[in-house]
Structure 1
Amino acid sequence: MSTSVIWQRSSFSGGSEGNNCVEVRIYAGRIHLRESDAPDAIVTTNRTHLSAFIRRIKAGG
């Protein structure tokens, strides 16, 4: 994956150390998620699956 694509940090990531953040980017039509303290471990998904996952979490599933 290209390193020129910018990762966005969650606005809910607390602390000032900068190493406990969820980061996201959209690249080549896919959504990529990672933790800033483990940048090589990337989860890749699409909008449909991520949306279903978030809905299930909000529903307590």
Structure 2
Amino acid sequence: MDLKKARKEAGMTQKQLGEHAGMSKNYIYRVENNKRPLSHSLRVRLTHAIEKFKKSNLVK
């Protein structure tokens, strides 16, 4: 999964993704830039946060 691409396609900032996933903007930056590993559980957590954000924007 290309996290940065998925986040941008959802129209999210790193800060928004961090808030929805319960982590800092800096951590999101590090994951996107391969400075932190993207484990399976983290991938699931971030994907869920992106999907939830996209659904909430459809309702508006």
User: Structure 1 length normalisation: TM-score?
Assistant: 0.28
Name which one, 1 or 2, has greater alpha-carbon Rg.
1
Q: State the structure with bigger RCO (CA 8 A, min sep 6), 1 or 2.
A: 2
Q: Going by fraction, where is strand more abundant, 1 or 2?
A: 1
User: Structure 2 length normalisation: TM-score?
Assistant: 0.29
Q: Going by fraction, where is helix more abundant, 1 or 2?
A: 2
